[in-house]
């Protein structure tokens, strides 16, 4: 198969490569040449499709590969994503690979969000990346499940969000790690709860809120911080029949925050899972007076 784009680079043997703008029509043609029709992971296809639609696609060494007979060896998911997005993107197209390389294609470890943040010099990278991911989910799909293919957040999105508010995320991770020692919530849930409440309430007394959660000292029986401290810790442990997922943990944190900010509503406080159809609570805002 020949693609008339530019003069190919010619390494050893018959292997050649070119940078090609792969259109949806060309992607469909390439897919028709698949030597092995592997079952597509539609979650992965969807993630790649959304990356293309957001304009985040980047030209890298990962592209499309054909063997010496012109049969497609690698790139099914990327090609299907181009078709789903109905958008052309540039890729490197390799031709002339021996057939015996097929078993070793796509066997490398995928780069994690924590790997992507490594170059920033930040601390607690797994917790940081998880926190940013769930903050993004809170903002973009608060009333939908935060698991499965629809909840995919790309590494580029996570890195961009971190660069927009490095101090905010760094503080949230530090506070989240500390609060989780005293609450039922995981470090990620505590960090997400802290970030989204602090972000919309810069004028609130955050120190009073966090110090009460940490110590529990001298808190009145009706104090929302005391209620949050008393949520059983085993509710988020793996294997527990009472386990509460990340979205519910964040919701409970915000419910307590809102009750603390508006004490007149404290008697309505119910720190439990979101019921079917119940929407994610939005944190009370506290702005500075101008």
pLDDT score recorded for residue 184: 93
Q: Is 141 exposed, middle or buried (0-12, 13-18, 19+ CB in 10 A)?
A: middle
Give domain status of residue 263, yes or no.
yes
Residue 42: which domain range?
A: 16-104
pLDDT score recorded for residue 100: 64
Domain end position, chosen among 104, 125, 154: 104
Six token digits for residue 263 = 């004490």
Q: Give the HSE-up count for residue 125: Cα atoms under 13 Å, Cβ half-sphere.
A: 13
pLDDT score recorded for residue 93: 93
Q: What is the DSSP string of 18-29?
A: EEEEE-HHHHHH
Q: Could you list the mean pLDDT of each consecutive 10-residue stretch along the chain, which spans 290 residues?
A: 47 76 94 74 86 89 87 89 94 84 55 81 94 98 92 90 96 97 96 97 93 93 92 66 84 95 75 89 83
Strand order in the sheet with 16-22: 16-22, 89-97, 64-67, 72-74
Do 65 and 17 meet the contact criterion of CB atoms below 8 Å apart?
Answer: no
Domain count, the chain: 2
Give domain status of residue 3, yes or no.
no
Residues 22 and 123 in one domain: no
pLDDT score recorded for residue 4: 44
Give domain status of residue 133, yes or no.
yes
pLDDT score recorded for residue 236: 60
**Does the pTM of the predicted model rise above 0.75?**
no
Give domain status of residue 2, yes or no.
no
Residues 45 and 145 in one domain: no
């Amino acid at each position: 198969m020949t693609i008339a784009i530019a003069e190919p680079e010619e390494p050893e043997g018959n292997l050649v490569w070119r940078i090609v703008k792969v259109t949806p029509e060309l992607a469909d043609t390439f897919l028709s040449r698949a030597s092995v029709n592997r079952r597509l992971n539609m979650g992965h296809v969807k993630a790649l499709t959304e990356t293309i639609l957001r304009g985040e696609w980047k030209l890298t060494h990962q592209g499309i590969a054909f063997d010496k007979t012109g049969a497609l060896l690698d790139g099914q998911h990327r090609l299907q994503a181009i078709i789903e997005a109905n958008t052309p993107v540039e890729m490197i197209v390799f031709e002339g690979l021996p057939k015996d390389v097929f078993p070793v294609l796509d066997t490398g470890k995928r780069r994690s969000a924590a790997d992507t943040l490594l170059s920033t010099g930040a601390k607690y990278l797994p917790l940081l990346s998880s926190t940013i991911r769930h903050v993004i989910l809170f903002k973009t799909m608060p009333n939908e499940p935060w698991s499965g293919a629809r909840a995919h957040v790309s590494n580029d999105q996570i890195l961009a969000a971190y660069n927009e508010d490095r101090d905010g995320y760094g503080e949230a991770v530090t506070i989240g790690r500390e609060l989780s020692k005293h609450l039922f919530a995981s470090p990620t849930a505590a960090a997400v709860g802290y970030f989204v409440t602090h972000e919309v309430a810069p004028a609130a007394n955050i120190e009073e809120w966090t110090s009460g959660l940490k110590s529990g000292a001298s808190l009145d029986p009706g104090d929302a911080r005391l209620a949050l401290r008393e949520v059983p810790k085993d509710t988020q442990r793996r294997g527990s029949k009472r386990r509460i997922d990340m979205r519910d943990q964040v919701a409970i944190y915000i419910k307590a925050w809102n009750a603390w900010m508006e004490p007149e509503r404290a008697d309505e406080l119910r720190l439990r899972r979101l019921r079917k159809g119940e929407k994610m609570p939005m944190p009370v805002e506290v702005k500075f007076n101008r």
